[in-house]
A and B are shown apart, each in its own frame.
Chain A
Amino acid sequence: MRLATAGAALLLAAGCSVPAPPRAEAGFPACSPPSGSLTVTPTTIDVVGQAYGCILADSQVDGREVLTAGFAALVRELNRGGRDLPEAALPAMTGDRAADWAAFETRLRAIGDRVPALRADLAAATLEGMAAALGEGHARWERPPEIPPDHHDGDGYGLGLRTNAGAALPPLFVTAVDGGPARAAGLRPGDVVESADGELDAVYPDARPVRLRLLRPGTGRRWGVTLTPAVYPRDPAALRVVRSELLGDVAHVRMTGFPPDAADRALRAISRLRAGHTLSGVVLDLRGNGGGSSTEAVRLLSAFVHGAVTAHECAADGGCDGVWTDDTVPLLGLPLVVLVDHGCAGACEHLAAAVKGLRAGTLVGTRTAGAISGPARPFRLGNGTVLSLSARRHLGPDREVVDRIGVPPDHHVPATPHDAAAGRDRALETALTLLRP
């Protein structure tokens, strides 16, 4: 979920590659794609109404279900704040979209007037509930993250560690130490997390300490440590979205996402490595790649295969459009191995599923995230936030569902605590073996 959100953020960064907005429902403000600067103001009931209009304009969903889910979320938020109210009952829903909204809005305003301090929080909870009604991944309401006051460009926030959480295989262990509290406490890759009493991926302003029980397999040492989320500097070189190196005769290209121009950056990197070298193949390292622009993923894939459908985008009525390779991208004529893991989400899975289905290369690593609901259309709401809707479903090249399933690699090579502790990358080793001439 978090990964999918990261992917969406990258896609939003693209900003303008947005299809024509759907027409607004009569009586609701127009839905428009995002543009310009991000100044976010508190969520109002008008913003909720605008989101409702965008959802109805973009999908076949029953408006009554959307409003009911929104109201249920509002009630939960009200109860969480210990402020239940006699007015907090859902009015009768008739199926007339405008009339239902009018009744809903009136009730929302009455509730807001009783608890003015909670007004924005309640509106936000309602909007989140409405988005969730469309099903996991089909609607996301994105608000710019809060920024800690002492934040510098490139800083991380949290415990300063990454784990294999989300991977199918136990045990849970530290895969990387990025800095901050984890580094200060002496944690190392390969340390097994036997228990944790809190969130390992804290998001600011969550600063609740997390108590960890750790085991270092190499020494058998067991110990406990309490880490408190904080801002910490990271190595800027390690944050580059596209990094490349020559490993023997193989171009190893790591990509942490698919921002606009990602494909060109990767292809330029390969051509630079190719200058003066005879390459035997390309390892595209997409482990932890949170996705972004599918257009970029398809362009990159198109350097390895032409004239093929990489995915299908299907509407609720069953009609599908094929997403074709971009045959203006010159073929590299090089064998390809793609490294994937549970962090490969969204556009990354589009590429992974296509590589596998089209036999454009070999997949090595572990199953991808399964977080690719469909192409998202972002809409700017009145308070500067963005509602992303994906009415159409993404299917792989063989019309297989990838969302919630993921793409299983051809060669299953999971990371282990032992390898992590030794700094050994078995998936990459496997890839290089496969590309050996």
Chain B
Amino acid sequence: MRRLLAAALLTGVAACACSAPEPPRSAAPSPAPARPVALPAPTGGRPVGSAVLHLTDGSRPDPWDESMRARQLRVTLWYPTEQRDGPRAPYMSPKEAEPLLTGSGMPATAAGTLSETGTHSVRDAAPAGRGLPLVVLSPGFTKPMSTLTSLAEDLASRGYVVAGIDHTHESYATTLADGRVAGCLACDSSGDPGFRAGLVRGRAADVSFVLDRLTSTYARLIDSGRIAMAGQSIGGAAAVAAMVADRRVRAGIDLDGTTYARIPKGGLSRPFLFLGTPQHVPGGPDHSWDRDWKALTGWKRWLVVAGAEHQTFTDVPLLAEVIGLDPLPGMLPASRGAELTRAYVAAFLDLHLKGRRQPLLDGPSPCCPEVTFPAQ
């Protein structure tokens, strides 16, 4: 599946994550247009609401478009709610699905079906609860935040407020406040030296700004002392960068992302989880986790999921049929990938933000033979 998915939706991310991705195998479009799918139901007990915020940071220009004097960010919130009924939040708009597909080298014919993917969040429902822990999510390069919806909804159903950031111009499609869909300007320079180091630094600034806003706007709902961040691919690398830059981020998760931020000499003592594919083993081709593992001085785990590929931690395998991708034999079934991702991410957050013991993180578990602990 790695190759197959890399071929289609995901070239940009794959290229970002591994120093040298294997050459893509071409994916034949499926013969008949697939029907829309629904994401797996959240596993926590709480109903989930979702709302979109458009935030503007007037203190700095957009890093990719010099004509934009302020950084505009689209933030999607997922949170527990009392409201079980009501229209579901859209997965993404057709106007977003189309550039995402074409930008990824796929025919845009599936755009309509992709945008009809079923979510489990009640649109604009009133949040319920107070003093909840907050998790910031950051997607892979060229991907909209929607690609982490399955994880976001699951965390919200477990009592977290989730803030997913669309980092404008770092995705093929970001709908801005005025309705315009901004494209991937950062893609222009993605091969430049230092591009990724600069990008994660910019994302860290995005995160700090979003935290400023959310902790003041939702001062009752969010416990500003319990904030973590998780991301896939370069979004995971951004979690390291955000923790280095902002002490409010108490814990971080990197889902298979090569890391680029420089951890200061004294090390980073807050909890961190590396969750990766078999490409990310200690001593493997990407030296960045080995390098940073030594600089992580607090609670840490390095977990490898057998049969996973770079997108296993996102919604992409769940949507493979819709966008016309056939999984390769030997890869984790999409639903299993989502299950493991949700379980380990939630275990880490429950341990560090809710103080609940998590045997899942102590070592290999009978439930999850795919997950190994290759580094000590």
Interface residues of A (CB under 8 A from B): 13, 35-39, 147, 149-150, 152-155, 233-237, 239-242, 245, 259-261, 265, 268, 272
Contact = CB atoms under 8 A, between A and B. Distances in A.
B198 interface: yes
A240 B20 contact: no
Nearest to B187: A261
Contacts of A39: 285
Given A237-B198, A240-B192, A241-B189, 12 more contacts: A37-B21, A39-B285, A147-B287, A149-B291, A153-B194, A154-B196, A233-B262, A235-B194, A236-B194, A236-B195, A236-B199, A239-B198
15 contacts: A39-B285, A149-B287, A149-B291, A150-B291, A152-B197, A153-B197, A154-B193, A154-B194, A154-B197, A234-B194, A236-B201, A240-B189, A240-B195, A259-B191, A268-B188
Contacts of B195: 153-154, 236, 239-240
A150 B259 CA distance: 12
Interface in B162-205: 188-189, 191-199, 201
Contacts of B21: 37
Main secondary structure of the interface of B (DSSP, over half): loop
The 9 closest A-B pairs by CB, nearest first: A154-B194, A236-B198, A37-B20, A239-B194, A236-B194, A154-B197, A153-B197, A153-B196, A153-B260
A147 B290 CA distance: 14
A153 B66 CA distance: 23
A241 B287 contact: no
B216 interface: no
A153 B285 CA distance: 15
Interface centre among A149, A236, A239, A245 (most CB of B within 10 A): A236
A147 B198 CA distance: 19
A272 B197 contact: no
B354 to A, nearest CB: 33
A39 B23 CA distance: 14
Contacts of B196: 153-154
Contacts of A265: 188-189
Contact of A152 (B19, B22, B262): B262
B67 A272 contact: yes
Contacts of A38: 20
Contact of B191 (A13, A36, A150, A233): A13
A234 B192 CA distance: 13
A374 B338 CA distance: 52
Interface in B238-266: 260-262
A239 to B, nearest CB: 4
Contacts of B188: 242, 261, 265, 268
A241 B192 contact: yes
Contacts of A37: 19-22
A233 B198 CA distance: 11
B20 to A, nearest CB: 3
